[in-house]
Structures are given as C-alpha cells and as structure tokens.
Copies of this chain bind each other. A is one copy, B any other.
Amino acid sequence: MSAPKFTDWMAQQQQRAEHALEAALPAAGIAPERLHEAMRYTTLGGGKRVRPLLAFAAGELSGAPVASLNAVACALECIHVYSLVHDDMPCMDDDALRRGKPTVHVQYDEATALLVGDALQTQAFDILSAPDLFADPARQLRALHTLARASGSRGMAGGQAIDLASVGKELTRAELEVMHLHKTGALIRAAVLLGALAGEVSDEALQHLDRYAKSIGLLFQVVDDILDATADTATLGKTAGKDAANDKPTYVSILGLAESRALAAELTAEAEQALAGFGSEASRLRELAHYITSRQF
C-alpha cells in the first residue's frame, strides 16, 4: 500500500486532530456547562490544525504511538486556541471574527472568553500529564517542559507582550524576527519537537528538527503577513488587512511584498536543508514546508 498523497494525508490528519480534540475536551454536559460549551465552540470545527499536522508528521519520523501523538496534538492545539481567544479580546486585538465564526467574547461575553482561554491552557497540561501517556515518564516530562517553555513569558506569551509594545513603532527586520520567533515560532517548534518526543528520537535528530521548525515558524509568519496584505476576509475566515489597520509592523510593511516572497522561498529552502539527513520518514515534514509556503488561506 503506497502512502496517500499529501492533500489526502492532510485531510485525514485534520480529521484525526478534530476527533482527538472532541474526545479530549470535557463534554458540554459536564458542569460548568457554559464554560465547557464555550471551550468546545472555539476549539472544534475549524482551524488549519497546523501544529497537530506538524506533530503528526514529526511523530511518523520517530515512530510515535498513536495515543501519545494524539495527546501531543491536542495539547498543542489547546495552547494555540487559548492564545487566539485571549488575543481576540477587546483589551488586545478586539477582533469579532475567527475561523469564520464570532469570537468567544462576542458569542458569549468577555469574562467567559477570559476563563475559556485560561481553562484551555490548563487543559493542554492536563492532557499531556495523563498517566502512562508516553512509554518513558522522563520523556513525557521533557515534552511537558518543552511545551511550557514554548508557551510562557519566554515563548508565545512573551511574543504577545513584544507585539503589544511594538504597535505604532518602527521595527527593524531583526526586531520583527525576534517577535515572531516568540509569538508564533516557539509553539511551532514545540509542535515538531513534541511530535518527535512522543516516539524514540536521538538528541541529534531533535537538533535537526529544531532547525527545520525554526525556519517553518518564521515561514508561517511571513506567509501570514503576505496573506493579510493580499487576501480578503471571506478567504481568510478572519478579518483581513487588520495588521495595517492596527498599525502593526509586518514583513510586508518592512520588506515589501516582493522581498517577503523571496524570504518565504529562502526559509523553505532552509527547512529542506535541515531535513537533508533524513530519508522518506521525513516526507510529510517536507511536504508541510511546501504547503505552508504555498497556502492560500
């Protein structure tokens, strides 16, 4: 049986992430019902599931068991979604639309959005600390620590703080890169590392994967900035042009469109280069790099 082609594989894995999240989140009938309903509203039924896809692809490379990998994917997505919910709140980006649906504070209320984000973050660590999830508890601890470090004040949350401080300021390309390495890059790196850690993997392989993931993380942001400047709201499923409207520095505002596209190509090549030592077991990771660089949504 030959491997499914990439778009089929991706659709399957997105389904897999959806089902895993459905099972991992508390049921809407469990008290407090409104909180659990809102957690499911914002997490399920949408999203590109980029972090789960990266984790699944890295897990293929390390031979990770299905259950460990599903938990890793759910934990990553819970962290990602919590950050979106809080980022959309009035005191941050004040956005009304996300993944084509009203944001949580619009659909419910601000206090609920705050608690949904808080509880989704905890849910990530709850899922990833379940007993006997990995064959080796020390490796499971390492995955937890990697996720925490990537999400906190020296990772994703720190990136949000840098982002806040940069509104209305002129950033250099280097400063913009530091911001994105934190804001989106850290969790994308964690996605690849955690997927690999769910199976057996050497420290050397992890280093190559980290280099791949660092390129992918920046690539993802460069493409996001290009799309924000060129696509419309209906295609994006979120408000288009909001970076310019919010006076936020982006790759497009600093480098221009043509140079941003050249940078995207360069980062794709770097990602490929980092995987050069692997064989066909890294095929999905290679395909994902190309998917990210060519995505239209």
Contacts and interface: CB of A to CB of B under 8 A. Distances in A.
A157 B123 CA distance: 11
Contact of A32 (B82, B149, B153): B153
B144 A125 contact: yes
Interface class of chain A by DSSP: helix
As for how many copies of this chain the complex holds, the number is: 2
Nearest to A149: B126
Interface stretch (A46-54, A109-117, A204-212, A255-263): A109-117
A104 to B, nearest CB: 12
Interface residues of A, number: 53
A119 B32 contact: no
A99 interface: no
A249 B140 CA distance: 42
A153 B119 contact: yes
Interface in A164-219: 164-165
B161 A115 contact: yes
Interface string A123-158: 101100111000001101110110111011111011
A164 B117 CA distance: 16
12 contacts: A26-B154, A31-B158, A32-B165, A89-B114, A91-B109, A118-B118, A119-B158, A122-B153, A122-B155, A123-B152, A125-B147, A141-B141
Interface of A: 26, 30-32, 34-36, 39, 82-83, 86, 89, 91-92, 109-112, 114-115, 117-119, 121-123, 125-126, 129-131, 137-138, 140-142, 144-145, 147-149, 151-155, 157-158, 160-162, 164-165
